[in-house]
Amino acid sequence: MDQQGHKRRIALLGSTGSMGLQALDVIARYPDLLQLEVIAANSSADLLIQQARTFKPNIVVVVQEEAYLKVKEALIDEDIKIFCGEQSLCDVCEMECVDMVLSCIVGVAGLRPIYHAIDCGKLIALANKETLVVAGELITRKAKERNIAIYPVDSEHSAIFQSLVGEHFNPIEKLIITASGGPFRGWTKEQLQNVTLADALKHPNWNMGPKVTIDSSTLMNKGLEVIEAKWLFNVDLDRIEVVVHPQSIVHSLVQFKDGSIKAQLGCPDMRLPIQYAITYPLRLENELPRLDFADYPALTFEKPDRETFPCLNIAYEASRQGGCMPCVMNAANEIAVQWFLQERIRYVDIPHIIENALQHADPVKPQTVDEYLAVDQETKARLLKFGPPRH
């Protein structure tokens, strides 16, 4: 709800994915405060039709034409506007009926709509970490120019954001991002040689989509979050630390110049950071699980095994190099994870594919969204041309 007491009108991009489904659950809980104006998805026609009938948004966007035709026919009797194509994701961000854009799109596909939404003066709730990984400098500069707030949805960045409320004038000494360690915490390089897809998709704590779950297991997800934190909170890489916290109760921490540390704790449930982002600055009553410390007699912390899981180091190094390198890294990771999900490569091939792509990249510095997207497409095209490694 805004300062005038109006409902906050939301465009939800990526409504059919794991994060989108949880966002809809949150939005449905507060009909007096939140209004769902737009839902958008790539191709999940059946689920999008179901969502449209349930939530009655003003607008539905479907990126793929075949799915669009199916959705349009199914909703012909509904008073809902239906649009098709990637450009429509940007067009709906311009509409006066939208106050906030909540991006739950997975991958680089979220970059252009978010940039456009910022340029149109919309509030941003960001669950799409790749937007800042790929083009953090461009996005944060545009947000500063337009004086637009970006509210983080990732549990780690939400925890940092919550810990910084009221600390505007106090210098940050260090950000500490927690990681569960994934399903292979404590495994050796030799054990990882035989990892199956089913093994990698079993995250111990979080309910996430397949791509994010694989990234979590390789620690690439933490690497992406480190780069995202760098841009969100304007902190140098050398002052961002990753620590493994298997219980996933402490979601991240901020250490201040005086040595004090603030943290945000809670049950591992993505609906809480989603709620905080789309209703900020309010803390609204809900029925989400409460943390009972008696259930967690020990909260433990350890250093990540960067040698066994090299993707974390790869992300730090790509960010240090800057320019297009984080974009190349992200594109190569998307292809590598896609191949692994298709069972065309081994689990241990993922970091090698990413490193190889970075070694062959032209270290240019893109200046526009189109240039970043061109680097992304060129990287993916190069990898797809040669195909997955053979053993």
How far apart, in whole angstroms, are the C-alpha atoms of residue 115 and residue 366? 15
> Does residue 377 sit within a domain?
no
How far apart, in whole angstroms, are the C-alpha atoms of residue 193 and residue 196? 9
> Does residue 192 sit within a domain?
yes
Q: What is the CATH number of the domain that holds 125?
A: 3.40.50.720
Q: In sequence order, which residues have a C-beta less than 8 Å from that of residue 94 and are 6 or more positions away? A: 116, 120
pLDDT at residue number 107: 85
Pair (204, 301) in one structural domain: yes
Pair (14, 108) in one structural domain: yes
> Does residue 316 sit within a domain?
no
pLDDT at residue number 311: 98
Judged by DSSP in three states, 73 sits in: helix
pLDDT at residue number 238: 96
Q: In sequence order, which residues have a C-beta less than 8 Å from that of residue 335 and are 6 or more positions away? A: 353, 379, 380, 383, 384
Pair (143, 213) in one structural domain: no
Cβ(182)–Cβ(217) under 8 Å?
yes
Pair (216, 257) in one structural domain: yes
Domain count, the chain: 2
Q: Does the global pTM surpass 0.85?
A: yes
SS3 annotation, 3-35: CCCCCEEEEEECCCCHHHHHHHHHHHHCCCCEE
Pair (192, 304) in one structural domain: yes
> Does residue 379 sit within a domain?
no
> Does residue 367 sit within a domain?
no
pLDDT at residue number 250: 98
**What letter does residue 151 receive in the DSSP assignment?**
E
> Does residue 387 sit within a domain?
no
Pair (115, 233) in one structural domain: no
pLDDT at residue number 209: 77
> Does residue 61 sit within a domain?
yes
Question: 10 Å Cβ neighbour count for 186?
Answer: 11
Domain that includes residue 41, residue range = 8-152
pLDDT at residue number 5: 67
How far apart, in whole angstroms, are the C-alpha atoms of residue 152 and residue 159? 9
Judged by DSSP in three states, 153 sits in: coil
Mean pLDDT, consecutive 10-residue stretches, the chain (391 aa), reads 76 95 97 97 96 97 96 96 96 95 92 97 95 97 97 97 96 96 94 94 75 93 97 97 96 97 96 97 96 96 97 98 97 97 97 97 94 97 92 70
Pair (39, 173) in one structural domain: no
> Does residue 373 sit within a domain?
no
How far apart, in whole angstroms, are the C-alpha atoms of residue 10 and residue 13? 9
Backbone phi and psi for residue 19, each to the nearest 5 degrees, phi listed first: -70, -40
Pair (129, 243) in one structural domain: no
